Amino acid sequence: MPEALLFDLDGTLVDTAPDLARATNALRAHHGMPALPYPTIRTQVSNGGSALVALALGLDKDHPDHAAARDFLLARYGEAV
């Protein structure tokens, strides 16, 4: 059993932005929306999944559909890693 886990979600050790961009655009596609350009998504990657949901769908954290959308996004991201 490991004593610690290291998460690198801001690109310091591994650039995860392309995978998160694909997950974000998968969320948009799931909702029948066109893909966003990579540079647009890249600006929000370090702000986390909730920021990507807000960018992708315009749903703030208080919106009733936000949590499900975030779960979808993170599941798509999990498939990539």
Helix (H) or strand (E) holding 10: none
Considering the candidates 8, 15, 65, 71, report the single residue annotated as catalytic: 8
10 labelled catalytic: yes
Sign of the CA dihedral with 40 first, then 46, 52, and 58 last: negative
DSSP 34: P
The C-alpha atoms of residue 73 and residue 67 are separated, in whole angstroms, by: 10
8 labelled catalytic: yes
Q: Confirm if 76 and 16 have CB atoms less than 8 A apart.
A: no
Which residues are known to be catalytic? Answer: 8, 10
